[in-house]
Chain A
Amino acid sequence: MTISRIIEILDAHLLTEHADCSREVHTACGSDMMSDVLAYVKDQAVLLTGLNNPQVVRTADMMDMVCIVFVRGKKPDAMLISLAEARGIAVMTTDKTMFTACGLLYSQGLQGGVN
């Protein structure tokens, strides 16, 4: 699925202007614990999180993830968005909860990936 499709499914609002939303992604993970993402994630492209601080972008960047979804209406600040912009990571926010957002994406074909 494309990043644009994720925006549609989650009724999300894109916060980065220059991200390439035609990019194809196949796997995602949802976590508020960046330590766990660093420890257990492998090749997931999308990070769903309710945590709102710059380390979310750092973590996604280290893991070569291309898209961050902030759930429960979390609105990251300008510093976080510009950090993501510089790294070519698409950032969006949705009012949906973590459980609902993950469920919707999963039911539309996004996978949890190997683990």
Chain B
Amino acid sequence: MPDCIYLHYTVPGDDFTRAGEASADLKLRLKKLGIPPEAVRKVSIALYEGEINLAIHAHGGEIDVQITDDAVCMTLSDQGPGIADIPLAMSEGYSTAPDEVRSLGFGAGMGLPNMKKYSDEFDIQSTVGVGTTIKMAVHVD
């Protein structure tokens, strides 16, 4: 495996059915690279929740992935509405998702807590009216 692999994905903001394509693709690649299944699972769930958030809360966004021998690092950035109260948004069960999102099976307010739970490093920066950037890393080994 080369020293570092870079991947980029764009998550569309207007097509909820496509959210998850990036996580599914990354999952296959990590498996092929021989990354341990437990790490693959953590990356997949964390990134999938992130993708769903980009699609439902931020009108889409960008994902950059960096894979090294030690870790899978993911940066999710968007130019959506931003988050005013990050600790509140991070709490289990807090959600501003509308009913139509809930009828699609999401909006339980578990996305951000899940992303933090499944990643070994987690950082969120957000400015209202500007956008949100989330960095997550899952350690390999």
> Chain A interface (Cβ within 8 Å of chain B)?
32-36, 38-39, 49, 51, 53-56, 58-59, 61-64, 79, 87
Whether A62 contacts B105 by the Cβ 8 Å rule is: no
Closest to A61 in B: B24
Q: Which of B33-67 contact A (CB under 8 A)?
A: 37, 41, 44-45, 48-49, 52
CA gap between A61 and B44 in the complex, in Å: 9
**Interface-forming stretch among B3-11, B69-77, B107-115, B124-132?**
B107-115
B106 at the binding interface (Cβ < 8 Å)? yes
Proximity string of chain B (97-137) to chain A, C-beta cutoff 8 Å, 1 when within and 0 when not: 00000001111111101100000000000000000000000
Whether B108 contacts A53 by the Cβ 8 Å rule is: no
In the complex, given contacts A58-B20, A62-B45, what are 14 additional A-B residue pairs having Cβ atoms less than 8 angstroms apart? A35-B106, A35-B109, A35-B111, A38-B49, A39-B113, A53-B104, A53-B105, A55-B17, A55-B104, A56-B105, A61-B44, A62-B27, A62-B41, A62-B48
> Chain B interface (Cβ within 8 Å of chain A)?
16-17, 19-20, 23-24, 27, 37, 41, 44-45, 48-49, 52, 104-111, 113-114
Report whether over half of chain A's contact residues are helix, strand or loop; otherwise say mixed: helix
Closest chain B CB from A74 CB (angstroms): 13
CA gap between A51 and B105 in the complex, in Å: 7
Whether A61 contacts B27 by the Cβ 8 Å rule is: yes
CA gap between A79 and B20 in the complex, in Å: 14
Which residues of A lie under 8 Å from residue B110 when comparing CB positions?
35-36, 38-39
CA gap between A38 and B104 in the complex, in Å: 14
The residue that B19 contacts in the complex, of A35, A36, A55, A79, with Cβ under 8 A, is: A55
CA gap between A79 and B37 in the complex, in Å: 27
Which residues of A lie under 8 Å from residue B41 when comparing CB positions?
62-64
The residue that B17 contacts in the complex, of A32, A49, A54, with Cβ under 8 A, is: A54
